[in-house]
């Protein structure tokens, strides 16, 4: 059992990572007892599991993820949502409204129109069918106020931080409501547009400097300075 | 009366551009050069200049072409009208359609297409200046663009050609040598898998020359592979280096 990389070393597809009795984690594949990277990223081994933290890539829905979707199409009893993934999300009327929707009597567009944003969770996804979403839970539903910004999907873990350290700090320092969708969209609702713009800028900064040390402190400093 | 002929290789084995027989041209890869694609790469391979953009994986359009068990990979190889000495008609030629197919087939074995059923991955290749080995340069640059798009792959695909010119085998054929030479043999190769994904040949060579060519091709592909890795290192290292605290 040997690994051929240093902790958090930059690897690219085809790089031999390890040999022996390991488990293949994210972005790692096994061939003839050897483990190779399948993406550019930082190699990591934890609890015998070898994985690559990706530096590029797109969002693949996982059941339970909170996502922020943009309505792109209204069908008679469902909406198609762009969730920044190769697969569009399907939000059935029964998963959004508290009462049944009769397509003969009313149009789905009355409740949710193209271009509007929805906070939802992924119920099920197996790549053979588009991911189905639900917005019938606490804190989910149509976005009525605030700002939604797109961020790089690979930076989402950094925006949340270790055990939520970054997001907790952002909320505490600004008093705003912030929700990070797993699909690389962030909803910010503050007291004013200006405040939302400052938070958005802070998030852009996190995105740009994602893999640097002491980032939480620097962002706090940035927020304190820009409030003055 | 002997006919006066320009020779492409001198007596001491130096080619018309000063290279040794087994020497490749200077190759410079650049990653992430375009804003509106998911991944992109640019290569300067001697005088050959190629820009590659990758879109996807994304919803397959038109939908009836989508494959239910894997992603549909499509390559679009195109030569700019000004890319060659004589003006090239902007209409897609037979050669461009064929190269698109060949390039797609050289790249597809490297991609984990089974991870993205019903989607499509489009590879757009624009040859800005052509000086031989455009398919090799396209494949090598496209695999970097795929990496930049974050598409899971088994390995990078490196590619190079060997030709036979004036009875000698030469690595990395340029346009002049290709036109005057007796044969041209491009190969695409996944070094860490030791797998060949493309092998073509036109012209005539002997069995021994074929064996020698394969050795030369492997050596060349490894050199290209090294350049590809360096480009990845250079592009992504910047993103992860620790910023000094002010």
How do residues B214-224 score in pLDDT, each as one tens digit? 999 999 999 99
For residues A50 and A78, membership in a common domain is answered with no
Say if A193 falls within a structural domain.
yes
Average pLDDT of every residue of chain A: 92
Residue B1, domain member (yes or no): no
List of residues 6+ apart from A46 with CB closer than 8 A: A25
In a domain, A174, yes or no: yes
Number of domain units in chain A: 3
A152 plus A105 within the same structural domain:
no
Asked whether residue A44 is domain-assigned, the answer is yes
Q: How far is B67 from chain A (nearest CA, A)?
A: 11
Model pLDDT, residue B240: 66
In a domain, B96, yes or no: yes
Does residue B241 register a pLDDT over 60?
A: no
Q: How confident is the model at residue A226 (pLDDT cuts 50, 70, 90)?
A: confident
Domain count within chain B? 1
DSSP-assigned letter for residue B117 = T
CA distance A221 to A216: 9
Considering the domain boundaries, does residue B5 fall inside one? no
Q: What is the full DSSP assignment across A106-164?
A: S-GGGTS-TT-EEEEEEEE--SSSPPEEE--STT-EE--SSEEEE--GGGHHHHH-GGG
pLDDT of B56 strictly over 90: no
Separation between Cα atoms, residue A152 and residue A57, nearest integer Å:
9
Size of interface A-B (CB pairs under 8 A): 94
Domain assignment present for B35: yes
Structural domain boundaries, residue B95: 27-238
Q: Assess whether pLDDT exceeds 80 at residue B246.
A: no
Interface confidence (ipTM) of the complex: 0.90
pLDDT in tens, B168-214: 999 999 999 999 999 999 999 999 999 999 999 999 999 999 999 99
Flag whether pLDDT at B13 surpasses 70.
Answer: yes
Predicted pLDDT at A228: 67
* B221 is a domain residue: yes
Looking at the fold, whether A138 and A71 belong to one and the same domain comes out as: yes
In a domain, B10, yes or no: no
Q: Residue A115 sits in a domain of what CATH number?
A: 2.40.50.140
Range of the domain at A184: 147-227
What percent of chain B stands above pLDDT 90? 88
Mutate to test the interface with B, among A19, A37, A40 (most CBs of B within 10 A): A40
Cα–Cα distance, A40 to B112 (Å, whole number): 14
Residue A204 within a domain: yes
Chain A interface residues facing chain B, Cβ-Cβ under 8 Å? 8, 10, 12-16, 27, 29, 31, 36, 38-40, 42, 54-58, 86-88, 127-128, 154, 209-214, 218
Q: Are residues A138 and A159 located together in one domain of the fold?
A: no
Is residue B242 over pLDDT 50?
no
Q: B204 φ, ψ to 5°?
A: -130, 130
CATH value at residue B102: 3.30.230.70
């Amino acid at each position: 059992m040997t690994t051929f990389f240093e902790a958090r070393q930059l690897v690219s597809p085809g790089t031999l990572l390890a040999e022996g009795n390991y488990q293949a984690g994210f972005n790692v594949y096994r061939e003839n007892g050897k483990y190779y990277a399948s993406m550019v990223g930082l190699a990591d081994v934890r609890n015998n599991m070898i994985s690559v933290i990706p530096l590029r890539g797109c969002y693949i829905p996982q059941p339970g993820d909170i996502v922020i979707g943009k309505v792109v199409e209204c069908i008679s009893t469902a909406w198609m949502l762009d969730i920044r993934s190769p697969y569009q999300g399907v939000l059935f009327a029964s998963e959004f409204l508290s009462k049944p929707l009769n397509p003969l009597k009313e149009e789905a567009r009355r409740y949710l129109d193209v271009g509007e944003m929805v906070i939802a969770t992924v119920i099920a996804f197996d790549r053979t069918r588009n991911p189905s979403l639900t917005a019938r839970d606490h804190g989910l539903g149509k976005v009525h106020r605030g700002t939604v910004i797109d961020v790089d999907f690979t930076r989402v873990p950094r925006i949340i931080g270790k055990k939520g350290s970054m997001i907790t700090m952002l909320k505490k320092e600004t008093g705003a409501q912030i929700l990070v969708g797993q699909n690389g969209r962030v909803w910010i609702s503050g007291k004013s547009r200006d405040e939302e713009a400052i938070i958005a800028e802070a998030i852009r900064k996190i995105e740009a400097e994602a893999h640097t040390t002491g980032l939480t402190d620097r962002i706090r400093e940035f927020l304190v300075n820009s409030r003055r | 009366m002997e006919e006066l002929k320009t020779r492409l290789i001198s007596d001491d084995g130096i080619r018309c551009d000063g290279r040794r027989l087994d020497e490749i041209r200077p190759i410079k890869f650049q990653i992430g050069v375009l804003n509106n694609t998911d991944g992109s790469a640019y290569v300067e391979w001697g005088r050959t200049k190629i820009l590659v953009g990758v879109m996807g994986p994304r919803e397959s359009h038109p939908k009836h072409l989508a494959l239910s068990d894997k992603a549909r990979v499509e390559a679009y190889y195109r030569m700019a009208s000004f890319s060659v000495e004589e003006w090239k008609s902007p209409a897609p030629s037979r050669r461009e359609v064929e190269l698109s197919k060949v390039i797609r087939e050289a790249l597809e074995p490297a991609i984990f297409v089974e991870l993205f059923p019903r989607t499509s991955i489009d590879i757009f290749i624009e040859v800005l200046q052509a000086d031989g080995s455009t398919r090799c340069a396209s494949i090598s640059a496209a695999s970097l663009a795929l990496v930049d798009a974050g598409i899971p792959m088994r390995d990078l695909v490196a590619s190079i050609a060997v030709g036979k010119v004036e009875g000698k085998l030469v690595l990395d054929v340029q346009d002049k040598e290709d036109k005057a030479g007796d044969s041209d043999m491009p190969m695409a190769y996944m070094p860490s898998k030791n797998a060949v994904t493309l092998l073509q040949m036109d012209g005539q060579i002997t069995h021994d020359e074929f064996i020698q060519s394969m050795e030369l091709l492997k050596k060349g592909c490894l050199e290209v592979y090294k350049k590809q890795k360096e480009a990845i290192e250079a592009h992504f290292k910047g993103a992860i280096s620790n910023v000094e605290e002010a």
